[in-house]
Amino acid sequence: APPTEATPSNTPASPLPPHIAAPARLASWNEWLAQGVKYRDLLADAEVCFALRDACAPPDAPPLAEARLPLFTRRGLLREGWFAVALRPPAEDGGCHASSGLAREEGSEEARVEQLVRRYERGAVARVPWLDTLTFDALAQAHVERERRAAEDAQLLGLEAAGRGERPPSAMAQPGSLSLLVELPRFSQRVVWDEREDRVDATVATPAVTAHGAAAIGAVADPEISRESPAELKQLKLARGLTRLGCDADLKPDSAQRRLLTAVVRKPPTAPLTGDELQLLWRFRHSLKAQPEALAKFLRAVDWRDAAERRQANALLREWSPLAPAAALELLSSDFTAMPEAREHAVEALGRAGDEEILSYLLPLVAALRYEREDSSALSRFLVKRCAASFSLANFLHWYLVVEFEDAAYSGRFAATHTQFIAQLKAAQGEDAWDCICQQAQLLAQLGAVSKALKAQGGNTDRKKERLRAMLAPAGDFGELGSFEGALPLPHDPRVLVTGVLPRECSVFKSALSPLKITFMRA
């Protein structure tokens, strides 16, 4: 691109980086330099060269200093934001220097700080206003101190040269002593050089014949290497077609195959299974019926889109050894959304668990409702019926469902389950059970209002404690919390019954969020 000239001005066009203090004498060109080339036409080694010239010198006079800035990093990312570029004497051949041009040496603490500041400006680092102010003030002071030490070192070098009768070295001859602050345009997204959608990392080495007849190895990109092979899919279908006839019902694995099956069954649920492992599970599916822990792996080997395989899998589900309730949780994950038969089998296994065990699994079971294909599923019906029969389970199911109302994508499903739960609870335990849960909700709402009032008034922790006790006192704004109409079970532990709040024992923790300590009277 043709060179563009800029004239210095007194004030910068945009504020300096927050970690750099403005020096007393700052030459600011205050202009954006427009280049005659587009970003899409740049090469990976594109760079910007700067020449600092004396305005009073003849036009053909050499520049006072030069600087260069590569536009792309080593990883191909376009540079954005502020950069300190080192000014150096002109090269002897009239071109730019071969070094990187950055004033901060790569790997140094100064370079790391500049990189973090650029990430902060892009929004990649969380902003904490009070901490950011302190940090940037400290960085600016460190920058001033660094510049002062550099000036003292230059003065010392000049005195030493004068003592030897030599000419003092110029500022340009000292690496990193003078730098040029350059601001590059910023974009909403990172710009990467030569990132194409048709570019693939997978390559296939193919032999090629040179002009002399010798074989050479060349790399050819195969865009379909990550896709499934139609030939392998056809072979797999044919192999499974032979086993659908029932000829392998009595097939038993040998010792080597048994070891492979054991290793596959012991794999964690998140570990992917290869095609050979899936084929092995399907081939010896009848011999795995006695292993409840192998059920999830077998279900992954079933092609649920094939009607014949689906029928065989459903028949084997009825013959499989009973599943433990803990193992049934895997069948309710997102991996089995398209397998309603497997999810119903898991719900049947959960029906054999006691209330205490169901309570330990209740939270993940409620979260698993989002993986069902419809609102009225076997899992939702099981939770509603089982929890409605026990107030302890009903208490936690209510609050777990209410929390999920905040998820906009599945709020309708959880609301429908909650409506069915309320009706079932009233039918099983009467209106009193539901009224008790409503009183819990009212108690939490009042305590939330107390917390908001304390935060709005401000003050230190001691003053907040006094205001909290005054609000909970019989004559306070929330004096009704001192005595409930009846014994109320706590939401987080319904086995504990409370009758009111003790204002003198309540307190506020010393924290930015001001959490409350509420003391209740037990029934």
Token pair in block for residue 445 = 């709402």
What integer pLDDT is reported at residue 278 of this predicted model? Answer: 86
59 lies in a domain?
yes
- Residue 200 pLDDT exceeds 50: no
Summarize the confidence of residues 333-359 as an average pLDDT.
90
CA 392, CA 364: separation in Å to the nearest integer?
A: 17
What pLDDT sits at residue 397?
94
Q: What is the pLDDT of residue 119?
A: 78
**Residue 25 in this model has a pLDDT that exceeds 60:** no
**In the chain, what percentage of residues exceed pLDDT 70?**
81
Query: What average pLDDT does the segment 266-288 reach?
Result: 87
Can you give the CATH number for the domain in which 262 is found?
Answer: 1.25.40.70
The residue assigned the tokens 């001033």 is 144
Does residue 368 lie in a domain region?
yes
Residue where a domain stops, chosen among 388, 419, 436: 436
Hey, CA dihedral for 211, 216, 222, 227, is it positive or negative?
positive
Q: Which of 10-19, 49-58, 213-222 bottoms out in mean pLDDT, i.e. has the lowest?
A: 10-19
Provide the residue range defining the domain that includes 478.
438-522
Average pLDDT, the chain: 80
Residue pair 316/289 in contact by the 8 Å Cβ criterion: yes
Lowest mean pLDDT segment, chosen from 59-68, 82-91, 198-207, 463-472: 198-207
Run of H or E residues at 395: helix 391-404
State the amino acid at position 39 in one-letter form.
Y
The reply to whether 368 and 380 lie within a common domain is: yes
Question: From the CA atom positions of the chain, what is the Rg in Å?
Answer: 37
The least confident of 150-164, 257-271, 295-309, 336-350 is 150-164
Per-residue pLDDT tens for 94-123?
555 545 556 566 667 777 877 787 778 777
pLDDT digits (tens, 9 = 90+) for 477-517: 888 888 888 889 999 999 999 999 998 999 998 888 889 99
pLDDT in tens, 437-488: 999 999 999 999 999 988 888 888 888 888 989 998 988 888 888 888 888 9
More confident residue, 1 or 380: 380
Most confidently modeled of 83-87, 197-201, 514-518? Answer: 514-518
Q: Retrieve residue 174's tokens.
A: 């000292």
Choose one of 419, 436, 453: the last residue of a domain: 436
The torsion angles phi and psi of 181, rounded to 5 degrees, stand at: -85, 120
**208 found inside a domain:** no
Looking at the fold, whether 347 and 491 belong to one and the same domain comes out as no
Of 412, 358, 411, the residue nearest 385 (C-alpha):
358
Asked if residue 358 and residue 481 are part of one domain, the reply reads no
Inside any domain, residue 86? yes
- The reply to whether 63 falls in a domain is yes
pLDDT at 279: 85
Q: Are residues 285 and 307 in the same domain?
A: yes
Given pLDDT bands bounded at 50, 70 and 90, which one contains residue 266?
very high
Contacts for 344 with CB less than 8 Å, ≥ 6 apart = 378
Does 206 reside within a domain?
no
Residue (of 305, 304, 280) closest to 294 by Cα position: 280
- Count: domains in the chain: 3
Two tokens, residue 497:
């019954």
